[in-house]
Amino acid sequence: MSLSRLIGGFVRQHRGAYAAAGAMLAGVAVLGVWVPRQVGAMIDGLAAHRLSGHQLLLHIGGLLLIGAAIYFLRVGWRQTLFAAAYQLGVSLRTRFYARLSLQGPAFYQQQRTGDLMALGTNDIDAIEMAAGEAMLAGFDGSLTLVMVLGVMLLGVDWRLAAVALLPFPLMALAFWRISRHIHTASTDSLQRFSALNDHVQETLSGVRTLRALGLERRSGVQFAALAGHAADASLSAQRWEAAYEPAVGLTLTAASALTFGLGGYLVWQHQLTIGALTSFTMYLGQLIWPMFAAGWVLSLIERGRAAWARLQPLLEAPLAIDDHGTLAALAPGALTVSQLGYAYPGQGVPALADVTLTVQPGQTLGLVGPTGSGKSTLLRVLLRQLTAQTGAVRWSGHALDAYALRTLRAAISWVPQESFLFSATIADNIALARPDATRAEVDRAAHLAAIHDDILQFQNGYDTLVGERGITLSGGQRQRVAIARALLADNDLLLLDDALSAVDTGTETRILQHLEELRAQRGGRSAIIASHRLSAVVNADLIVVLRAGRISETGSHAQLLEQDGWYASQWRYQQLEATLDAL
């Protein structure tokens, strides 16, 4: 869809506001065209001594009233039109955000955060300006141009009008060339701003790493270079936009010279009155706005086209995960994985191959294995962040893709390896999944996650702001707040993806004991715990060992020790390591 179709559809949706603004603009144009004729008549009347003092005052009073009417009409159409045009920005941002929220991890692996932020701000602003400022300037300028030219040709003198219009084709050619350069410069400017935005976002996110490695100066040099490139690109676009003014000025200067030359001759020959020549020159002055409006409209349209060319592909990008499920409710039941296989794009070795397992309601499954064995990939398939390429996953007798994504994910509490906290209070972060939760419920979830005592040590307790991404908390504290958030949600399936890696073994033991107690109270609740620390899955009903994406061992803790495979070897190593750490 082109930008013109987008704006056209929006105008049709808000045709009432645009029609009202257009009517007020038409009134401004009519009154503006009437003023020079009235002034010309006044001058001819004074020159012929036909106007008395009283009549002159009446004419002047009429001009003042017209000026006031023009003022209020201009205020009215601006308020009406911009109020409607801003809705396009709201609509596009809402649509853009909704699209981003439905995309999966694969989409974000190919996109830069800073670029997405720039699209949601600068680019949509440019499109909004094309729908608002460009529309009103185009309509106002076009209407004024038609009416002024009509009066010049039919109401004053067609010979003067014909001579005055001679330079205008050259101006049209200049406008065409300038608009092409503006489109290119605007595209480059938007892209440069996105690169700068992306660098700032990455720098602020990784500011601790930059300081630890002493890279502040290097990052500053990169920022200065990107800022310089963005400024140069923006300046280039502004220079081309500024080129409209000389083109208009030269055209009107040439038109004025031709007009005065011919007009003076006609007055000398008594074929034209001084009042008519005065009116004509005033009309010629009124052509300044339509010419400037044309340049301004072309500039805004080209910037809008460049922005829409960047935004449209993302709005129309296919969703990483198809959400065609129709089941809106999920009853507790067995979760079965049958011969599951998945390979990441561009990788020849599959991340998962022929994985088969079953988790009964109320059971706890432990997932262990070396780094890169496929534990996190399996959990992401269960969350439908990834779509399995072979095999099937069924929950309560239905395939996962039969459930609406909203239904499926509302039934799962997930704590990823890197816990994300929002720039809010600790209580708000815990209550994220249940904003209506009481403080007592939040406190209980914090107790279960063994974070309550830590929270009370802060000056503001649960009302402590954690900062962006939870920067004021330690890694273990962030993990436990995320676990509390998941427990407060109280969903049918709990997924812990190495979510205890940053806590000590004593705290880990307390959290796992609380999970066991909670599971005993709510019999249908299942849990899958993926961990590199085997102590986290000792009490699991079933432990699955993944190696190179395949199941190599299964059984309880005791059974796996008897098999004397990878699990038993790793258990002995970790026990020895814990003993040495305790010395």
Higher pLDDT, 462 or 138: 462
The arithmetic mean of pLDDT across residues 461-480, rounded, is: 79
- Per-domain boundaries in the chain: 84-315, 349-411+493-583, 417-490
Higher pLDDT, 420 or 77: 420
- Alpha helices by DSSP H, listed for 48-132, are 53-102, 105-110, 113-118, 124-131
Higher pLDDT, 78 or 89: 89
**Quick one: angle between helices 124-131 and 3-13, nearest 10?**
60
DSSP H or E segment with residue 546: strand 542-547
CA distances from 51 to 46, 104, 155, 162, 348 (A): 6, 79, 22, 32, 95
The confidence score (pLDDT) of residue 484 equals 87
Higher pLDDT, 422 or 59: 422
Q: Two tokens at 146?
A: 């038609």
**Percentage of the chain with pLDDT > 70?**
83
The confidence score (pLDDT) of residue 523 equals 62
Q: CA geometry: angle at 108 spanning 474 and 373, to 5°?
A: 70
The 10 Å Cβ neighbour count of residue 265 is 11
Q: Can you tell me whether residue 529 is helix, strand or coil?
A: strand
DSSP H or E segment with residue 133: helix 133-150
The confidence score (pLDDT) of residue 389 equals 85
Q: Two tokens at 356?
A: 């088969």
Name the CATH topology of 417-490. Answer: Rossmann fold (3.40.50)
84-315 has which CATH code? 1.20.1560.10
d(CA 157, CA 149): 11
- Alpha helices by DSSP H, listed for 411-456, are 426-430, 439-448, 452-456
Q: Do domains 349-411+493-583 and 417-490 have the same CATH topology?
A: yes
The arithmetic mean of pLDDT across residues 472-498, rounded, is: 84
Q: How far is C-alpha 257 from the geometric centre of its chain's CA atoms? A: 51
Q: Is the pLDDT of residue 45 over 70?
A: no
Weakest-pLDDT range from 73-77, 86-90, 236-240:
73-77
Q: Two tokens at 67?
A: 């000026």
pLDDT grade for 1, boundaries at 50, 70 and 90: low
Q: How far is C-alpha 233 from the geometric centre of its chain's CA atoms? A: 22
d(CA 223, CA 300): 28
Which residue, 149, 158, 166, 165, is CA-closest to 272?
158
d(CA 376, CA 496): 10
- The terminus-to-terminus CA distance of the chain in angstroms comes to 69
pLDDT tens digits, one per residue of 415-424: 888 888 888 8
Q: Given this structure, which CATH class describes domain 349-411+493-583?
A: alpha beta
Q: Name the residue with tokens 């506001």.
A: 17
* Contacts of residue 163, Cβ cutoff 8 Å, sequence gap at least 6: 258, 259, 262
The 10 Å Cβ neighbour count of residue 176 is 10
d(CA 384, CA 342): 12
The confidence score (pLDDT) of residue 134 equals 77
d(CA 192, CA 225): 11
CA distances from 411 to 166, 269, 338, 403, 522 (A): 73, 92, 21, 11, 14
Looking at the DSSP bridge assignments, the partners of residue 543 are 366, 555
The confidence score (pLDDT) of residue 283 equals 67
* Beta sheet of 335-342, edge-to-edge order: 352-359, 335-342, 390-395, 398-399
Q: Two tokens at 522?
A: 């709510």
Q: Is the pLDDT of residue 210 over 70?
A: yes
pTM greater than the 0.75 cutoff: no
pLDDT grade for 154, boundaries at 50, 70 and 90: low
Q: Is the pLDDT of residue 554 over 70?
A: yes
Which residue, 41, 66, 264, 56, is CA-closest to 155?
41
Q: Two tokens at 440?
A: 């007592």
Q: Can you tell me whether residue 141 is helix, strand or coil?
A: helix
Cβ atoms of 505 and 574 closer than 8 Å = no
**Percent helix, strand and coil across the chain, each rounded to 5?**
65, 10, 25
pLDDT grade for 48, boundaries at 50, 70 and 90: low
The confidence score (pLDDT) of residue 56 equals 65
Q: Please provide the average confidence, as pLDDT, over all residues in the chain.
A: 78
The confidence score (pLDDT) of residue 39 equals 64
Which residue, 230, 243, 281, is CA-closest to 259?
281
pLDDT grade for 234, boundaries at 50, 70 and 90: confident
Cβ atoms of 306 and 186 closer than 8 Å = yes
Cβ atoms of 455 and 478 closer than 8 Å = no
The confidence score (pLDDT) of residue 77 equals 66
Which residue, 383, 395, 407, 411, is CA-closest to 335?
395
The confidence score (pLDDT) of residue 46 equals 63
Q: Is the pLDDT of residue 172 over 80?
A: no
The confidence score (pLDDT) of residue 521 equals 67
The confidence score (pLDDT) of residue 510 equals 84
The confidence score (pLDDT) of residue 582 equals 59
* Contacts of residue 456, Cβ cutoff 8 Å, sequence gap at least 6: none
**DSSP letter, residue 468:** G
The confidence score (pLDDT) of residue 53 equals 66
Q: Two tokens at 362?
A: 């109320």
Burial 440-474 (b: 16+ CB within 10 A, else e): eebbbbbebbbbbebbeebeeebebebeebbeebe
d(CA 140, CA 148): 12
DSSP H or E segment with residue 342: strand 335-342
The arithmetic mean of pLDDT across residues 351-361, rounded, is: 89
Q: Is the pLDDT of residue 40 over 70?
A: no
